[in-house]
Each structure stands twice: as C-alpha cells, then as structure tokens.
C-alpha cells in the first residue's frame, strides 16, 4: 500500500476492488482494495466507508 493511499483511506477516500463491486438496489457497494473496508459509492470515483448499521446482509440489526 502506498503512503498516499494510506492517507486517503484515513480520510475516507477508498478505492474498490472492481470485481467485488455489486449493486444492492440503492448503491454500489464493495470492499476497499487497500484497507478491506466495506465501502459504498457516493459519486463518480468517490467511495466512502459504510456505516456498520448499513452493513445489511447477514447482520440483522436488533431494532
Ligand atoms: Zn481504504
């Protein structure tokens, strides 16, 4: 991982693993290729970390 990308991830600017990007009905979601964070697309080439409560599949939230 480059130093620049480490900073970018700290600033919540991630880059997805393209083969892992999927459409969940509302957003494109994926995994950051650098820090493995679960991320969602918020615009052209803009990805941010997903909140844990948005994690969705497999993790039912108790009310
Ligand atoms: Zn990242």
Q: How far is the CA of 8 from the centre of ligand 1 (A)?
A: 7
Report CA(24)–ligand 1 centroid distance (Å): 20
Q: What is the pLDDT of residue 16?
A: 97
CA distances from 8 to 13, 38, 44, 55, 59 (A): 5, 15, 16, 22, 28
Give pLDDT, residue 54.
Answer: 52
Query: pLDDT tens digits for 12-58?
Result: 999 999 999 999 999 999 999 999 999 999 999 999 999 865 545 55
| pLDDT of 61 above 60 | no
pLDDT at 23: 96
Look at residue 60 in the predicted model and tell me its pLDDT.
Answer: 55
Cβ proximity of 22 and 56 under 8 Å: no
Alpha carbon of 11 to ligand 1 centroid (Å): 9
Domain residue ranges in the chain: 3-51
């Amino acid at each position: 991982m480059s130093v620049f990308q480490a900073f970018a991830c700290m600033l919540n600017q991630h880059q997805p693993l393209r083969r892992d990007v999927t459409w969940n009905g509302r957003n494109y979601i994926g995994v950051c290729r650098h820090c493995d964070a679960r991320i969602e697309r918020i615009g052209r080439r803009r990805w941010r970390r997903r909140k844990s409560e948005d994690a969705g599949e497999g993790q039912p939230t108790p009310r």
